[in-house]
Amino acid sequence: MKGPAAIFLLLASGVGIAAASAASPSSLQVQVTDDRGLPVRDAVVELDPEGGWRGGRIRFPGRAAMAQKDIAFTPGTLIVAKGSSVAFPNLDTVRHSIYSFSKAARFEIDLYGRDQTRSKTFPVVGTVALGCNIHDQMRGYIRVVDTPYAAKTDRNGIVRLSGLSAGDYTLTVWHPRASAPGSEIKRVLAVAAGQNSKKISMKLR
């Protein structure tokens, strides 16, 4: 094919390639360190799209459960989507009574024993600090989010979020020991097409 028709076809193909490239998912790697430069493990990193999430129901892999085992909450920090029901299975030989006085959820679960489970729904975004009325040393946290782009940092302080669209986001980093209001740091972040990276330093108590 020659002439204007060929030129038009070539241009149209180029536009198609550009559009496909622009629509391809972006990714973000975040590394969280303390004020000494050491990696912070189990910090929750969240990325909220400008204008809020509008992509439908949010699901995270695995069961939404906060167990009690060896007189401790496991996992120590759990991420769930807003509106999720969380199970509290007791895997200990002793009884537990779970409670929270947090603004995002105030509740108390009466004593229950081994191999029994209780559940609670969390409709409000925020941090839920957990305790046990019987064992004062027990501490756990549920981070309730309204975005699918949320995960905990690994032992190197790194988390990777994928499937993003290029655009503006609010980046939130939370850790129970962070010396900041609400134990969290917020940044406005522009995510470009392709791979992105960001380093966050936070002071810990």
CATH number for the domain running over 25-55+148-205: 2.60.40.10
Q: Mean pLDDT in the chain?
A: 90
- Report the percent of the chain where pLDDT is more than 70: 89
pLDDT of res. 97 = 98
Whether residue 18 has pLDDT greater than 60: no
Reported CATH class of domain 59-145: mainly beta
pLDDT of res. 14 = 45
Whether residue 21 has pLDDT greater than 80: no
Of 140 and 15, more confident: 140
3-state secondary structure the chain: CCCHHHHHHHHHHHHHHHHHHHHCCEEEEEEEEECCCCECCCCEEEEEECCCCCCCCCCCCCCCECEECCCCEECCEEEEECCEEEEEEECCCCCECEEEEECCEEEECCCECCCCEEEEEECCCEEEEEEECCCCCCCEEEEEECCCCEEECCCCCEEEEEEECCEEEEEEEECCCECCHHHEEEEEEEECCCEEEEEEEECEC
Average pLDDT over residues 158-183: 97
Rounded to whole angstroms, how far apart are CA atoms 65 and 85?
Answer: 9
Give pTM, 2 decimals: 0.87
Average pLDDT over residues 169-192: 97
Span 82-103, pLDDT tens digits? 999 999 999 999 999 999 999 9
Average pLDDT over residues 5-25: 44
pLDDT of res. 24 = 75
Span 109-166, pLDDT tens digits? 999 999 999 999 999 999 999 999 999 999 999 999 999 999 999 999 999 999 999 9
> Quick one: pLDDT band at residue 2, thresholds 50, 70, 90?
low
Domain ranges across the chain = 25-55+148-205, 59-145
pLDDT of res. 23 = 57
In CATH terms, are 25-55+148-205 and 59-145 the same topology? Answer: yes
